[in-house]
C-alpha cells in the first residue's frame, strides 16, 4: 500500500455529493454524524471542500445536469480518492432505470470502490460500508 | 456602489441538495436573487404514468425522502377521488399516525439543520437525537426508517399490531421532556432572539401574494391548514390547534414548527390510543374513467396531486405540485434588503425541498422556452412514427 493511501485511511475525510437523489441517503449520511451513531469518533469527518476530501460519497441517480458537475468535481479531487456509491440509485439506478433523465449508473462515469445498497441504507449499513472500504484497500481498524 | 454577484452552489457544503443561487449584492446588502434548479430532476411524473396505480405509490414516495408520506397520501387521495369510495376508519387512523410521525421528524430535522446553519451545533445534535426516537417508532410501525410504503389506494398496506402500540407510546412519551427542554432552549435564548428576530420578514400581504403554504404562511399570520380547512384522515376526530404567529420572520417560522411538533405528538398519541377496529384495505379492483385531485398538509405545506384515468390500470396523467414550488418565490420578498450573512438562514427558513420541486423545461441560450406541452406531444408522436417505420413500417 502506498504511503499516501496509508495516511488517508487513518482518518478519512468525506465529501458528500448528491447527484439527483431524493435526500434520504443524504439525511441518513448526516444521521451517522449525530449522537446515536457518531461516526466522527473514528475520525471520519464531513468536509466542505472537495479539495480536502479523501473519500467521495456519491448519492443519487446521476441525472444529465449533475453528471457534468460530477465530472468537474472528479477532476478537481486530489488522488488517490476512494469513491463510495450510497443507495440503490447510484448502484443500479433502482426505480429510475426507465427515467429519461438518468441515462447511466455511477460506475460508468467514475470508478467506484464500495457500494452501499438500500433505499435508503440504514446508518448501520453506512458504517459497515465504511469498514469495508477501509478493509478493501488493506487497512486495519 | 457597484454590484457584485455571489454564486452559491450547486454543490455547496451547507446544503445537502444541489441547487444554484446567484445573489446580487451591493456591499453587504442583497439586492436580488436568482436561482437555477434541475440538478435533481428524475422524471417522476413520467415514470409514474408508466406504472400501475398501486405501484405509483412507490415512485411518488421517492420524490423526496422527507416527504415520503405526504406524496403517497396525496396520490392515494387523488386516486380515491376518481370515484367515490369509503376508506375504513382504521386505515384513516393509521394514515394519520404515519403522516404525523413524519411531520414530527421533518420539523425536528429542520430545527437541527437551522441550528447547524446558524453555527449552533448543539441544537443540531439535540434535535437529531430526538428524531431518532421517532424514526424508531416509524420502524416499528412500518418496517423502515424513511420510505414507509404504507399507503395504497383504498387503504393501507400494513396493519399496526396491538402489541406494538404500548412500545410506540412509551417511545413518543420519552421524547416529550427533552422536546420541552429544547423548546425553551430555543425560544428563550437571547442569542437566537438577536440572530433571528426581524430577519427575512415575509409580510401577511406578501404571503398572500406569493401563495405561500404551510408553516411559511402560518408564521406570517395566514391561518391556512388543509387539515383544518378541508379535513381528511382522522383529523376531525380530535381537538388540536393550528399554530399561527404574526411576525413572519425566521424566528416565528421556527416557533410555528416547534409548536406544531408538540401538537403532532398529541395527535399521534390520540390516534394510537384510540385506534378503531376494522378492515385496513378496501381492495380496489380497477379505477374507472375520470380525474381526481388529492391534497394534504405536508410538513412544508399543501401537497397537491392530480390523476387522470382512462379506465386502464395506469394513470394517463399524473401531476405533482409540491409545497416548495410555491414557497421558493417568497425569497424575492424575504431576502432582498437583508445582509449576506443572513442569507443562508433565510434560504433555509422555508424548509426548502428542491427534489420535490424539480421541473423540466427546454430552453435556448437566451432563456426562451422552446417546447410547450403540445410540442412535446408532437415530438413524441414523430418519434413513435420513426420507430414504427424502422421496425417494419406497419
Judge whether B42 is closer than 8 Å to chain A, CB to CB. Answer: yes
* Alpha carbon distance B342, B315 (integer Å): 44
B187 and B321 belong to one structural domain? yes
Q: Do B18 and A24 touch (CB under 8 A)?
A: no
Q: Tell me whether residue B163 is in a domain.
A: yes
Selecting from B42, B68, B128 the residue whose C-beta is nearest the C-beta of A96 gives B42
- Calculate the CA dihedral of residues B43, A23, A105, A16 and round it to 10 degrees: 140
Selecting from A16, A61, A73 the residue whose C-beta is nearest the C-beta of B42 gives A61
* Alpha carbon distance B112, A29 (integer Å): 14
Instruction: Give the per-residue pLDDT at B393.
Output: 60
What is the DSSP annotation of B258-321?
HHHHHHHHHHHHHHHHTPPPS-SB-------EEEEEEEEEETTEEEEEEEEEESSSSEEEEEEE
Q: Tell me whether residue A63 is in a domain.
A: yes
* Interface probe with A: pick from B9, B42, B112, B314, most Cβ of A within 10 Å: B42
Kind and range of the H or E run holding B198: none
Q: Do A65 and B39 touch (CB under 8 A)?
A: yes
Question: Which residues of chain A neighbour B355 with C-beta distances below 8 Å?
Answer: 20-23
Instruction: Give the per-residue pLDDT at B244.
Output: 93
Q: Tell me whether residue B198 is in a domain.
A: yes
A141 pLDDT above the threshold of 60:
no
Q: Do A66 and B39 touch (CB under 8 A)?
A: yes
Judge whether B129 is closer than 8 Å to chain A, CB to CB. Answer: yes
B322 and B239 belong to one structural domain? yes
Alpha carbon of A126: minimum distance to chain B alpha carbons (Å): 14
Q: How many structural domains compose chain A?
A: 1
pLDDT tens by residue, B65-84: 888 889 999 999 999 988 87
Q: Tell me whether residue B170 is in a domain.
A: yes
* Alpha carbon distance A92, A24 (integer Å): 17
Instruction: Give the per-residue pLDDT at B242.
Output: 92
Which residue from A minimizes the CA distance to B131?
A31
A2 pLDDT above the threshold of 80:
no
Selecting from B11, B63, B109 the residue whose C-beta is nearest the C-beta of A27 gives B109
Judge whether A90 is closer than 8 Å to chain B, CB to CB. Answer: no
pLDDT tens by residue, A81-138: 899 999 888 888 888 888 888 888 888 899 999 999 988 899 999 999 988 888 888 7
Per the CB < 8 A criterion, the answer to whether B142 and B148 are in contact is: yes
| CATH number for position A116 | 3.40.50.12280
pLDDT tens by residue, B319-355: 898 888 888 889 888 988 899 888 888 888 888 888 7
* Alpha carbon distance B188, B282 (integer Å): 49
B257 and B383 belong to one structural domain? no
CA B55 vs. chain centroid, Å, equals 20
Q: Tell me whether residue B171 is in a domain.
A: yes
Query: Three-state SS for A96?
Result: helix
pLDDT tens by residue, B19-30: 888 889 998 899
Instruction: Give the per-residue pLDDT at B256.
Output: 93
CA B218 → CA A118, B239, B332, B356, distances in Å?
A: 36, 19, 18, 21
Which residue from A minimizes the CA distance to B38?
A65
Instruction: Give the per-residue pLDDT at A6.
Output: 78
Question: Which residues of chain A neighbour B112 with C-beta distances below 8 Å?
Answer: 34
Q: Tell me whether residue A87 is in a domain.
A: yes
Selecting from A23, A49, A101 the residue whose C-beta is nearest the C-beta of B16 gives A23
Instruction: Give the per-residue pLDDT at B364.
Output: 64
Residue B110: which residues within 8 A CB-CB, separation 6 or more?
A: B257, B299, B348, B351
Query: Nearest Cα to B140, choosing from B167, B105, B104, B173?
Result: B167
Residue B237: which residues within 8 A CB-CB, separation 6 or more?
A: B270, B274
Q: Do B13 and A49 touch (CB under 8 A)?
A: yes
Strand order in the sheet with B289-298: B289-298, B301-310, B315-321
* Alpha carbon distance A48, B341 (integer Å): 18
B371 pLDDT above the threshold of 70:
no
Q: Tell me whether residue B5 is in a domain.
A: no
In chain B, the DSSP E strands lie at: 3-8, 20-26, 29-36, 151-152, 155-156, 289-298, 301-310, 315-321
CA A139 vs. chain centroid, Å, equals 18
pLDDT tens by residue, A3-37: 777 777 788 899 988 888 888 888 898 888 888 99
Question: For chain B, what is the radius of gyration of the CA atoms?
Answer: 22
Neighbours of B343 (CB within 10 A): 21
Question: Which residues of chain A neighbour B10 with C-beta distances below 8 Å?
Answer: 66, 69
Q: Do B64 and A119 touch (CB under 8 A)?
A: no
B326 and B394 belong to one structural domain? no
Judge whether A101 is closer than 8 Å to chain B, CB to CB. Answer: yes
* Alpha carbon distance B244, A98 (integer Å): 43
pLDDT band at B361 (very low <50, low <70, confident <90, very high): low
Q: Tell me whether residue A141 is in a domain.
A: no
**Omega into B380 within 30° of 0, i.e. cis?**
no
Question: Which residues of chain B neighbour A25 with C-beta distances below 8 Å?
Answer: 65
B99 pLDDT above the threshold of 90:
yes
User: Of all residues in chain B, what percent carry a pLDDT higher than 70?
Assistant: 95
B369 pLDDT above the threshold of 90:
no
Least confidently predicted of A23-32, B92-101, B264-273, B279-288: B279-288
Selecting from A16, A30, A122 the residue whose C-beta is nearest the C-beta of B145 gives A122
Range of the domain at A39: 3-136
Q: What angle do CA B211, B374, B311 make, to 5 degrees?
A: 85
Q: Tell me whether residue A101 is in a domain.
A: yes
Q: How many structural domains compose chain B?
A: 2
Q: Do A119 and B38 touch (CB under 8 A)?
A: no
CA B49 → CA B45, B149, B313, B316, distances in Å?
A: 6, 19, 10, 6
Residue B357: which residues within 8 A CB-CB, separation 6 or more?
A: B37, B322, B324, B325, B328
B166 and B202 belong to one structural domain? yes
Least confidently predicted of B95-99, B144-148, B216-220, B262-266: B144-148
pLDDT tens by residue, B150-200: 898 888 998 999 999 999 999 999 999 999 998 898 888 898 899 889 888
pTM of the model: 0.90
Query: Nearest Cα to B304, choosing from B357, B372, B361, B375?
Result: B357
Per the CB < 8 A criterion, the answer to whether B364 and B226 are in contact is: no
Q: Tell me whether residue B201 is in a domain.
A: yes
Least confidently predicted of A55-64, B253-262, B335-344, B358-367: B358-367
| Mean predicted confidence (pLDDT) in A36-64 | 87
Question: Which residues of chain B neighbour A63 with C-beta distances below 8 Å?
Answer: 39-42
B165 and B89 belong to one structural domain? yes
| Mean predicted confidence (pLDDT) in B37-59 | 87
A53 pLDDT above the threshold of 70:
yes
How many CB pairs below 8 A link A and B?
Answer: 114
Instruction: Give the per-residue pLDDT at B168.
Output: 93
B152 and B281 belong to one structural domain? yes
* The three grid cell numbers given for residue B334, joined into one nine-digit string: 424575504
Range of the domain at B369: 363-394
Amino acid at each position: 500500500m502506498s504511503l499516501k493511501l496509508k495516511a488517508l485511511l487513518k482518518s478519512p475525510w468525506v465529501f458528500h455529493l448528491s447527484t439527483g437523489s431524493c435526500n434520504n441517503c443524504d439525511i441518513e449520511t448526516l444521521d451517522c454524524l449525530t449522537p446515536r451513531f457518531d461516526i466522527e469518533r473514528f475520525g471520519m469527518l464531513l468536509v466542505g471542500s472537495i479539495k480536502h476530501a479523501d473519500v467521495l460519497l456519491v448519492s443519487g441517480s446521476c441525472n444529465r445536469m449533475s453528471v457534468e458537475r460530477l465530472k468537474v468535481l472528479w477532476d478537481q479531487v486530489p488522488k488517490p480518492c476512494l469513491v463510495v456509491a450510497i443507495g440503490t440509485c447510484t448502484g443500479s439506478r433502482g426505480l429510475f432505470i426507465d427515467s429519461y433523465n438518468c441515462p447511466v449508473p455511477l460506475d460508468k462515469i467514475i470508478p467506484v470502490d464500495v457500494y452501499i445498497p438500500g433505499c435508503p441504507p440504514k446508518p448501520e449499513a453506512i458504517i459497515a460500508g465504511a469498514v469495508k472500504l477501509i478493509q478493501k484497500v488493506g487497512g486495519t481498524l | 456602489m457597484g454590484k457584485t454577484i455571489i454564486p452559491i452552489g450547486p454543490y455547496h457544503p451547507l446544503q445537502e441538495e444541489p441547487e444554484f443561487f446567484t445573489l446580487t449584492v451591493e456591499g453587504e446588502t442583497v439586492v436580488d436573487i436568482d436561482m437555477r434548479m434541475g440538478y435533481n430532476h428524475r422524471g417522476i411524473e413520467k415514470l409514474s404514468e408508466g406504472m400501475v396505480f398501486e405501484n405509483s405509490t412507490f415512485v411518488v414516495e421517492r420524490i423526496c425522502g422527507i416527504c415520503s408520506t405526504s406524496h403517497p397520501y396525496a396520490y392515494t387521495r387523488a386516486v380515491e377521488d376518481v370515484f367515490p369510495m369509503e376508506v375504513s376508519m382504521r386505515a384513516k387512523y393509521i394514515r394519520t399516525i404515519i403522516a404525523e410521525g413524519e411531520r414530527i421528524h421533518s420539523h425536528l430535522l429542520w430545527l437541527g439543520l437551522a441550528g447547524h446553519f446558524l453555527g449552533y451545533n448543539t441544537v443540531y445534535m439535540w434535535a437529531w437525537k430526538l428524531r431518532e426516537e421517532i424514526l424508531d417508532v416509524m420502524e416499528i410501525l412500518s418496517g423502515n426508517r424513511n420510505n414507509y410504503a404504507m399507503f395504497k389506494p383504498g387503504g393501507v398496506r400494513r396493519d399496526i399490531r396491538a402489541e406494538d402500540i404500548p412500545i410506540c407510546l412509551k417511545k413518543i412519551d420519552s421524547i416529550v421532556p427533552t422536546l420541552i427542554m429544547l423548546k425553551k432552549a430555543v425560544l428563550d435564548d437571547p442569542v437566537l432572539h438577536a440572530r433571528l428576530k426581524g430577519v427575512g420578514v415575509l409580510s401577511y400581504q406578501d404571503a398572500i401574494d406569493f401563495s405561500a403554504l404551510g408553516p411559511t404562511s402560518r408564521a406570517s399570520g395566514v391561518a391556512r391548514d388543509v387539515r383544518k380547512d378541508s379535513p381528511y384522515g382522522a383529523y376531525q376526530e380530535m381537538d388540536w390547534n393550528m399554530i399561527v404567529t404574526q411576525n413572519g420572520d425566521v424566528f416565528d417560522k421556527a416557533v410555528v414548527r416547534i409548536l406544531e411538533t408538540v401538537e403532532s405528538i398529541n395527535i399521534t398519541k390520540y390516534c394510537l390510543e384510540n385506534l378503531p377496529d376494522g378492515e385496513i384495505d378496501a381492495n380496489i379492483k380497477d379505477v374507472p374513467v375520470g380525474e381526481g385531485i388529492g391534497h394534504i398538509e405536508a410538513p412544508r405545506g399543501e401537497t397537491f396531486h392530480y390523476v387522470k384515468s382512462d379506465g386502464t390500470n395506469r394513470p394517463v396523467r399524473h401531476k405533482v405540485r409540491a409545497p416548495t414550488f410555491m414557497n421558493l418565490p417568497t425569497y424575492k420578498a424575504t431576502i432582498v434588503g437583508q445582509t449576506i450573512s443572513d442569507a443562508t438562514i433565510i434560504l433555509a427558513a422555508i424548509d426548502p425541498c428542491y427534489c420535490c420541486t424539480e421541473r423540466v423545461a427546454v430552453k435556448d441560450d437566451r432563456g426562451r422556452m422552446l417546447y410547450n406541452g403540445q410540442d412535446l406531444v408532437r415530438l413524441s408522436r414523430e418519434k413513435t412514427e420513426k420507430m414504427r417505420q424502422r421496425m417494419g413500417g406497419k
